[in-house]
A = this chain, B = another copy of it.
Amino acid sequence: MTTSAFAAQGADLELVGIQKRFPGFTAIEHLDLKIPPGSFFALLGPSGCGKTTTLRLVAGLEEPTAGRILIGGEDITGKKPYQRPVNTVFQSYALFPHMTVLENVAFGLRRRRLDEPVAKAHEALRLVELDHLAARKPQQLSGGQQQRVALARAIVNRPALLLLDEPLGALDLKLRRQMQLELKTIQEEVGLTFLHVTHDQEEAMTMADTVAVMNKGRIEQMGAPEELYELPKTAFVANFLGQSNLFTGPVVGSTSEAIAVGVAGQRIVVPTARAHRHVGEVTIGIRPEKLSLHLSAPAVDPARNTMGPGRVIDVSFSGVSTQYLITVPHVGTLIVFAQNMAFGPVAEEGGEVWVSWDIEHGFGLEDEPADTPRFEADTTTRSIAAQRRASLITELEEV
């Protein structure tokens, strides 16, 4: 077994009150983070939110303006990159083009003057199944192979903490999914702490033990993937991690069990335990796959919320499931996902439908509804044709 060589256990990482200012720009406002040893931690967030900056701070490639960084309990804030027990798999891989694959992998070992760098490098290459290409130059490898060499080059050092900055970003979808599986398997095998940065929500959810969603230099929410997905705290998380149907309205009634929110004259019930705000205006949500479509008004069921009638304005088949866009007057456009368990759509475009969902599946956000930062439409990159469609929807709604 090759595992033996990588017996070193991962260490935990702690960021305390980290702030990072660039001239004229504050990339990270105030960041506290604790990653347990041996875990696969995914840092997720939109472009420019500060993910790479966070990683570079941990690696020592940037200095924090304020705050402390601890690895395995030891404060390493002042240490130089080459003194830190941390290695990075860069998005661009940054494989040294003038060295062979083997030399690349042995580089770190040689710098630390460890014994048998070549043997250990071969072992790491065997782990990523590339030992037969040890003599090649990086340019002679495919993207997927390069990614694995970068991984081997980092892992071979048995760092307490492995940083991965979108290592899969450059791969096409198919290869990417395959690599995700492998990366996860390798992490389980070597038992190191992985801090994985990505902006692909599916990647984060399928790979990580813990996911943190970052936004504008802050961690918005952090937890197990299912926890985050099923109970998002903010509108940003609700829409960044998958899609959500969100409604805003006043709390019109509440028991210890549940609160009722008035949305366009309909009472929508959400379990108290799943709602972060219990009085005043609140925003509540439901995931598209939790919605059931009905072609006639469903019977009243106290365990379910109902909404409708609405009109189907778009049906789009994507293989596994079909996506329906439904406009409900005075509420807005709802998205419904229905798995294609049978042939053909459940509802036709233009048809009248109702939707319902189990009360237990709703969630209530923590955001002030006023400044709920809904995911804004990127109007500058929307064509007139697409905008016309949008305005048609609005017209339709107002009828």
A316 CA to B173 CA in the complex, in Å? 17
Residue of B nearest to A378 (CB): B178
Pick from B148, B185, B242: contact of A319, CB under 8 Å: B242
Q: How far is the CB of A45 from chain B (nearest CB, A)?
A: 13
A385 CA to B381 CA in the complex, in Å? 42
Contact across chains for A386 and B182 when beta carbons are under 8 A apart: yes
Count chain B CB atoms within 10 A of each CB in A144, A341, A358, A388 and give the residue with the most: A341
Pick from B129, B202, B205, B318: contact of A202, CB under 8 Å: B318
Which residues on the B side are within 8 Å of A202 (C-beta)? 318-319
A340 within 8 A of B: yes
Within 8 A of B (CB), among A223-267: 225-226, 229-230, 241-242
Q: How far is the CB of A191 from chain B (nearest CB, A)?
A: 12
A383 within 8 A of B: yes
Contact across chains for B383 and A289 when beta carbons are under 8 A apart: no
Q: Report the interface size class on chain A.
A: 35 or more
Question: Taking A178-B378, A229-B319, A242-B319 as contacts, is the C-beta distance between A290 and B341 under 8 angstroms?
Answer: yes
A97 CA to B126 CA in the complex, in Å? 47
Question: Taking A317-B206, A320-B288, A320-B337 as contacts, is the C-beta distance between A182 and B142 under 8 angstroms?
Answer: no
Contact across chains for B206 and A318 when beta carbons are under 8 A apart: yes
A358 CA to B344 CA in the complex, in Å? 14
Q: How far is the CB of A194 from chain B (nearest CB, A)?
A: 14
Contact across chains for B385 and A185 when beta carbons are under 8 A apart: yes
Question: Taking A361-B342, A389-B185 as contacts, is the C-beta distance between A289 and B384 under 8 angstroms?
Answer: no
A387 within 8 A of B: yes
A8 within 8 A of B: no
A91 within 8 A of B: no
A181 within 8 A of B: yes
Which residues on the B side are within 8 Å of A341 (C-beta)? 289-290, 292
Which 8 pairs between the two chains have the least Cβ-Cβ distance? A144-B381, A129-B384, A339-B339, A185-B385, A242-B319, A182-B386, A182-B383, A289-B320
Could you give 17 example pairs across A and B, Cβ below 8 Å? A129-B382, A129-B383, A175-B378, A181-B386, A185-B386, A202-B318, A205-B317, A206-B317, A225-B317, A226-B317, A229-B317, A242-B319, A242-B320, A287-B319, A320-B337, A321-B321, A337-B339
Q: A205-B318, A288-B320 are in contact. List 18 more A-B contacts (CB 8 A).
A: A142-B380, A148-B383, A172-B199, A178-B378, A178-B381, A181-B386, A182-B385, A185-B383, A186-B385, A202-B318, A202-B319, A206-B318, A287-B320, A289-B321, A289-B339, A290-B342, A292-B341, A321-B339
